[in-house]
Amino acid sequence: MKIVALNGLLGYGYSEEALDIAFSEKVDYLGVDAGSTDPGPYYLGSGKSFTDRGAVKRDLELALPKALAQKAPFIIGTAGGAGSARHVQWLKEILLEIAAEKNLQFKLGVVFSDVSKEFVLEKLDSGKITNMSDEMPLSQEAIKESTTIVSQIGIAPIIELLKEKADVILCGRACDTAIYAAPCIYNGYNPGLAFHMAKIMECGAMCSEPVAAADVMQAYMYEDYFELRPANPIRKCTVDRVAAHTLYEQSNPYLIFEPDGVCDLTNSQFRQVDERTVRVTGSVFKEAEQPTLKLEGVKCSGYRTICPATIYDPETIRQFDTIADTVMNFVKENTKNTLPDGSYTVSFKTNGGEESSLGIIMDIVGQTQEIADTVCALVRSRMLHCDYPGRKSSAGNLAFPFSPSDIHVGPVYEFSVFHLAQVDSLLETSKIELEEIGL
Amino acid sequence: MKKLIDYTKILRSKNAGPLFITFDLIFNNNEDMLYIAERLTKAHIAKAYNVPASKIDIIVYSVVNSIKITFPRKNISGSLADNDIYGCQQHVPLANIEL
């Protein structure tokens, strides 16, 4: 069975020639990961994608007709970058646009993976939440403050849609591995090999030389092994690259944790089959007694206004801490009757120092954008003209690179939930929809 | 005394999810890996990053002559106090450990 990974992230691009080569053979499944938590909590909170619409459309519109022509189900994980219902809708609209433009017909399966606050509160109350890190326990308050919470689905809902003969499967927040492991396990392949293959494939051609998240990767599944070969002839898979891949972004290189269990790579072996192909054997899957789903939630922490500036004068840099104290005392005094306590935070994000220059970002987060603007303007103007002992450069302390100097960043989100929930069924959080497109 | 970075082919940091930071040390050969694996302790990491030793994992992954170090982030990715959302510029204190 042949599985193709379009690239490591939908919208990052890939070689069209490489895609042609991949589809010059029979392809059984095509997959692509469309999201990540790497860019931080903002995207889940705002409902926006960190990938560009035009780039996402390009990546999809070249691949979709090929997958449909070969009747290879096309599985897309973590739509829109963060996988909430709004992100799924965003990507679905792009798919519908392509279908209309190219006159394509297909059966679309969609998996929504959002969960309600009530669902998470019930899990917390019944002792079914596990912390991933001691630094982040879960409280009822954190759940109630959350604006969006999603669950990271595994293979189960994708397999449901494969059974329904969906041509395109669009997932909300999904484990990266589920995209590629689901079709293998659905077809009866060894789950240890399936998850190990999937862990490598989800990054596209990252496991090849020259390395690239932005290119097409191919996996060939067999009963006792799988093989990896990049589609692009300029790249090759090497044992080192493939073996090293499970180091990347993983807390443990031997274990891949999945909702249904853990994939153990302790006895995995890697062998160079030909110049561009690596064979992997020995990866083992151990089913968990208690299946879990990872929950990801965010809260809105306020609204941000920033002001970047640079200090070049070494004496001003030496006295920066004194200046910062003066500025903060002034801001507190100046706003004591107008802004409520705790309605804003000010932090100075600095880089460099006396030996070069001091870069500062004045970072103000307020309960409203207006509060952030007011405080930022006070901090900026007071710091610009702040006196200090022995000051000679009395015209101003700050070099501003921009006019206007202050920048609206808008709402600020922080992760509020990042926990494991014990579930009775791995379909518990999935809402599945099927739709005929273009008929 | 050499710095840790001088022994390695690759020395990098990255988020392992928003709650954890993970470091990969990849060596040119098994000998270098073993040399460091025998000497680099949780105490070194604890001091370099001001994190309790009990929260640090050090795993030798000899398949590719590498050592992985993981511990929880003090500031979760994207929190107000965080300065490195992807966590990919946190490796310098590790690189500078003298062994």
pLDDT per residue over B6-48, tens digit each?
Answer: 999 999 999 999 999 999 999 999 999 999 999 999 999 999 9
Half-sphere exposure of B26 (CA within 13 A, CB side): 16
CA torsion angle A231 A232 A233 A237 (round to 10): -70
Cβ contact (<8 Å) for B63 and A132?
A: no
Furthest CA-CA distance within chain A: 79
C-alpha–C-alpha distance, residues B55 and B71, integer Å: 6
Q: What is the structure's pLDDT at A274?
A: 97
Cβ contact (<8 Å) for A418 and B86?
A: no
Q: What 3 state SS string does chain A have?
A: CEEEECCCCCCCCCCHHHHHHHCCCCCCEEEEEEECCCCCCHHHHHCCCCCCHHHHHHHHHHHHHHHHHCCCCEEEEEEEECCCHHHHHHHHHHHHHHHHHHCCCEEEEEEECECCHHHHHHHHHCCCEEECCCCCCCCHHHHHHEEEEEEEECCHHHHHHHHCCCCEEEECCECHHHHHHHHHHHCCCCHHHHHHHHHHHCCCECCEECCECCCCEEEEECCCCEEEEECCCCCEECHHHHHHHHHCCCCCCCEEEECCEEEECCCCEEEEEECCEEEEECCEEEECCCCEEEEEEEEEEEEEEEEEEEECCHHHHHCHHHHHHHHHHHHHHHHCCCCCCCCEEEEEEEEECCCCCEEEEEEEEECCHHHHHHHHHHHHHHHHCCCCCCCCCCCCCCECCCCCCCEEEEEEEEEEEEEEEECCCCCCCCEEEEEEECC
Element (H, E) at B41: none
Q: Which chain B residues are within 8 Å of A254, Cβ to Cβ?
A: 59, 61
- Determine how β-strand A168-171 pairs with β-strand A74-81: parallel
- Determine how β-strand A106-112 pairs with β-strand A168-171: parallel
Return the exposure string of A330-352: e unless at least 16 CB atoms fall within 10 Å of the residue's CB, then b. Answer: bbeeebeeebeeebbbbebebee
| Closest-CA distance of chain B to residue A114, Å | 19
* Domains along the sequence of chain A with CATH: 2-113+153-291+423-437 (no CATH), 300-416 (3.30.70.600)
Here the tokens at position A199 are 């862990």
Half-sphere exposure of A8 (CA within 13 A, CB side): 16
Residues 6+ apart with CB under 8 A from A151: A113, A114, A115, A173, A293, A294, A295, A296, A421, A429
| Closest-CA distance of chain A to residue B39, Å | 20
C-alpha–C-alpha distance, residues A73 and A186, integer Å: 12
Half-sphere exposure of A160 (CA within 13 A, CB side): 18
C-alpha–C-alpha distance, residues B45 and B58, integer Å: 10
In angstroms, what CA-CA distances link B90 with A37, A361, B23, B33, B84? Answer: 18, 19, 9, 21, 8
Q: Which chain B residues are within 8 Å of A135, Cβ to Cβ?
A: 19, 72-74, 76
Considering only the beta carbons, identify the residue of A251, A345, A415 that sits closest to B18.
A415
Q: Are A407 and A389 in contact (CB under 8 A)?
A: no
- CATH 3.30.980 describes domain B4-95: yes
> In terms of CA atoms, which chain A residue is nearest residue B28?
A240
Q: Which chain A residues are within 8 Å of B18, Cβ to Cβ?
A: 37, 40-41, 415, 418
Residues 6+ apart with CB under 8 A from A184: A1, A3, A191, A193, A194, A197, A198, A221
Cβ contact (<8 Å) for B20 and A243?
A: no
Considering only the beta carbons, identify the residue of B59, B78, B80 that sits closest to A253.
B59
Cβ contact (<8 Å) for B73 and A413?
A: no
* ipTM higher than threshold 0.95: no
For helices A191-201 and A176-186, angle between their N-to-C axes, nearest 10 degrees: 140
Which of B76, B82, B91 to substitute to test the interface with A, most A CBs within 10 Å?
B76
Considering only the beta carbons, identify the residue of B66, B76, B85 that sits closest to A136.
B76
Q: What is the structure's pLDDT at B68?
A: 97
> In terms of CA atoms, which chain A residue is nearest residue B56?
A251
Q: Which chain A residues are within 8 Å of B59, Cβ to Cβ?
A: 252-254
Q: Which chain A residues are within 8 Å of B19, Cβ to Cβ?
A: 132-133, 135-136, 418
Query: A interface toward B at CB cutoff 8 Å?
Result: 37-42, 132-136, 240, 243-244, 247-254, 268, 270, 301, 345, 347, 349, 363, 365, 412-415, 418
> In terms of CA atoms, which chain A residue is nearest residue B67?
A247
> In terms of CA atoms, which chain A residue is nearest residue B14?
A249
Question: How many inter-chain contacts (A to B, CB under 8 Å) are there?
Answer: 94
Q: Name the 3-class secondary structure at B16.
A: coil
Position A22: which residue type? A
pLDDT by 10s per residue, chain A, length 439: 999 999 999 999 999 999 999 999 999 999 999 999 999 999 999 999 999 999 999 999 999 999 999 999 999 999 999 999 999 999 999 999 999 999 999 999 999 999 999 999 999 999 999 999 988 999 999 999 999 999 999 999 999 999 999 999 999 999 999 999 999 999 999 999 999 999 999 999 999 999 888 999 999 999 999 999 999 999 999 999 999 988 888 899 999 999 999 999 999 999 999 999 999 999 999 999 999 999 999 999 999 999 999 999 999 999 999 999 999 999 999 999 999 999 999 999 999 998 899 999 999 999 999 999 999 999 999 999 999 999 999 999 999 999 999 999 999 999 999 999 999 999 999 999 999 999 7
Compute the C-alpha angle B82/B85/B88, nearest 5°: 115
Q: What is the structure's pLDDT at A248?
A: 85
Considering only the beta carbons, identify the residue of A42, A135, A270 that sits closest to B78.
A42
Cβ contact (<8 Å) for A365 and B80?
A: yes
Here the tokens at position A421 are 């929930």
Compute the C-alpha angle A125/A128/A134, nearest 5°: 95
Q: Is A175 exposed, middle or buried (0-12, 13-18, 19+ CB in 10 A)?
A: buried
C-alpha–C-alpha distance, residues A202 and A212, integer Å: 12
Considering only the beta carbons, identify the residue of B19, B61, B68 that sits closest to A132.
B19
Cβ contact (<8 Å) for B76 and A301?
A: no
C-alpha–C-alpha distance, residues A181 and A173, integer Å: 16
Q: Are A3 and A180 in contact (CB under 8 A)?
A: yes
Q: Which chain A residues are within 8 Å of B66, Cβ to Cβ?
A: 244, 247, 253
**pTM, full prediction:** 0.95
C-alpha–C-alpha distance, residues A225 and A230, integer Å: 17
